[in-house]
Amino acid sequence: MSWIDLLAWMISAFNHFVLVYFLVLNTSYLALFLLSLGAVFRFVRRTFFSDYRQILQSEMTWPISVLVAAHNEETTLVDTVRSLLMVIYSEFEIVVINDGSTDRTLPRLVDAFALTRMDRPYRQAIATGRVRAIYGSLDHPHLIVVDKERGGKSDALNAGLNLARYPLYCSIDADSIIEDNALLRVVKPFMEHPTETIAAGGIVRIVNGCEVKDGRVVRIELPDAYLPILQVLEYLRAFLSGRVGWSVLRSLLIISGAFGVYRRAEVVEIGGYSRDTDTEDLDLVVRLHRHMRRKGRKYRVVFVPDPVCWTEAPATLSVLRRQRARWHRGLVRTLWDNRGVLFNPRYGTLGMLSFPHAFLFEMLGPFVEILGYIVVASAFLLGLLNAEFFLLFLAASVLYGIFLSVAAVLLEEMSFRRYPGWIDLCKLLVFSVVENLGYRQLLSLFKIKALWDVLLGRRGWGRMERAGFQQAPDGATVSAAR
């Protein structure tokens, strides 16, 4: 066999490997979609009957501490806190942690909620950076604002955990809005299985294009800009078709930091949020899983598909790139730190299913995917590959992907129907195709760059530029986020 033959054989073998890889990858997503389909239907039927309104008013509902970590969030934080103060829930407190903001985040809060400094005791159950001051409000007795030196989001959340009084806490991103009944819906699994549930998360949807009035989403519409629409679809796929399925398999690896509820005791037991990660939400859930499995305790980490948290999506490619690079760095770091779970039967479905999936498809997937596109396309152009194989490859990678995107739209359309307009539905269908013809590949490139950064030991949050929520005409004058 000459070396040319050997090279041709190797290219052919790699091409076949990539084809199989895509087939397995997309089939795993299809399996998750099918699991989600059943779970979402069961959920919708149950929700229809649930007495949320009465339970909300009951004094017997469990109290909860809501933690909001904020760093330079002057455009959105006041709205977020307003939306939280309007949340319908019997007993709760809001703890806002100003993590060394250098803009007007703190003065805006002080003005908006008539905050005054108070001598509240600060118990360091978890060690944190120095707390400069604690503020309370005479108008809003359930609101506490902690001003601390910059220590990162994890450090800020740990400071919030130190101040939280109640056994359950909810972490919410400063640029997010939760719906009125979202808190109770996500607390429900804790009340249904009081001894087992340790963490629960809700769905995150994109607020760009929606109209916000006084901290509430009053009109839901898709954004005009392409990039946020693509993220709407991506989130639908990730949350409705993905996390619901993982939740059914009892091996959900992540509860979005934008909106999740946890039992405080267990989180304090594992030392709170790790400061050594780019994605504290993923890291926390993985460590909780390990802790509970090691202790042999029966537990549940649940995803609830309806409680909605609205969040602002990056509107420019550079911000999106930084966000995804950070997410991927965090994923790589967490998977590496917890590599002992991989294919370890002691961790059940976590070790045998979700960890390998995250390792092979989420972490290494972008690399195989991009290399696959390059090699297969080059081989085709050089005449090393026949047209049939090339088309089969496109079918397995792109067409299968389109099918999965449309399936996510179908799931949304058959269950929650948050986008009622015909134009929005058509946009979603068209963008299901577009998503797979460039956007997904672009995200893979961002992730490869992040993988590279990890190898070079770089990290950091990157700057998020926010436009603020789009206000209804009679609301405050904040520019549109389209």
Partner 1 sequence: MSVILIATIVGLAAVFLGLTTVIVAGKAWREAGEARDRTRRQFLEPRILAYAQAEDGSIRAALGRTPSARDRRIVEAVLLDHAQRVRGAAFERMSRALDELGFVERYRAALRSARSWRRAWAAEQLGLAGARRAVPDLAAALRDPMIDVRMRAAKSLGLLGGAGSVRELIGALDEPNRWSSIRVADVLAGMGKGAVQEVIAAYPSLGAIGRLAALDVVGRARPLAAVPWLLERLGDAAPDARARAAHALGAIGDPRAVPALETALRDSAWPVRAMAAKALGRIGEPEAIPPLRRALRDPEWWVRSNAAHALGALGEAGTTALEEVLDSTDRYARSQAVVVLEERGVVDARAGGLVSDHAAERHVAAVFVRRLVAAGGTERLAELAADATDLALREQLRAHLAPAPTSVEGRS
Summarize as ranges the residues that interact with partner 1 (CB under 8 A).
Answer: 42, 45-46, 49-51, 54-55, 58-62, 116-121, 123, 133-134, 136, 138, 141, 165, 188, 191-194, 386, 388-389, 391-392, 395-396, 399-400, 402-403, 406-407, 409-410, 413-414, 422, 425, 429
C-beta closer to partner 1: residue 149 or 276: 149
What ranges in 50-174 are assigned the alpha helix state H? 52-57, 77-85, 105-113, 152-163
- What is the full DSSP assignment across 297-366? ---EEEEEEEEEEEEPPP-SHHHHHHHHHHHHHHHHHHHHHTGGGTT-GGGHHIIIIIHHHIIIIIISHH
- Nearest CB to partner 1, comparing residues 189 and 215: 189
Q: Tokens for 32?
A: 């998750």
Nearer to partner 1 among residue 125 and residue 478 (C-beta): 125
C-beta separation of 446 from 318 below 8 A: no
Closest separation in Å from C-beta 317 to partner 1? 28
Is 14 or 403 the residue whose CB approaches partner 1 more closely? 403
Q: How far is the CB of 121 from partner 1 (least distance, A)?
A: 5
Residue 380 CB, shortest distance to partner 1, in Å, is 14
- Tell me how far, at minimum, the Cβ of 360 lies from partner 1, in Å: 23
Bridge partner list, 115: 137
Per-position DSSP letters for 390-413, written without gaps between them: HHHHHIIIIIHHHHHHHHHHHHHH
Nearer to partner 1, 46 or 219 (CB): 46
E strand residue ranges, 179-328: 197-206, 211-213, 216-219, 259-263, 300-311
Tell me how far, at minimum, the Cβ of 42 lies from partner 1, in Å.
8
Closest to partner 1 by CB, 64 vs 207, is 64
Q: Using N-to-C axis directions, what is the helix angle for 365-381 and 440-456, rounded to 10°?
A: 120
CB 428 within 8 A of CB 409: yes
- Nearest-approach distance from CB 459 to partner 1, in angstroms: 35
Smaller CB separation from partner 1, 248 or 410: 410
Buried b / exposed e along 301-335 (16+ C-beta atoms within 10 A): bbbbbbbbbbbbbbbeeebbbbbbbbbbbbbbbbb
CB 72 within 8 A of CB 121: no
Cα–Cα dist 251/60, whole Å: 31
Amino acid identity, residue 10? M
Beta strands in 120-167 (DSSP E): 131-137, 143-148
Beta carbon of residue 225, minimum distance to partner 1 (angstroms, whole number): 23
The nearer residue to partner 1, 187 or 331, going by C-beta atoms, is 187
Least distance (Å) from partner 1 to the CB of residue 333? 36
Q: How far is the CB of 82 from partner 1 (least distance, A)?
A: 21
Question: Rounded distance, CA 239 to CA 225, Å?
Answer: 22
Sheet holding 176-178, edge to edge: 115-118, 131-137, 143-148, 92-99, 64-70, 168-173, 259-263, 197-206, 300-311, 176-178
Cβ closer to partner 1: 45 or 455?
45
CB atoms < 10 A from the CB of 201, how many?
30
Q: Which is nearer to partner 1, 221 or 413 (CB)?
A: 413
Q: How far is the CB of 273 from partner 1 (least distance, A)?
A: 23
> Could you give the 3-state DSSP secondary structure of residue 295?
helix
Min separation Cβ 170 and partner 1, Å: 17
Q: Give the residue with the Cβ less far from partner 1, 144 or 450.
A: 144
Helix, strand or coil for residue 172? strand
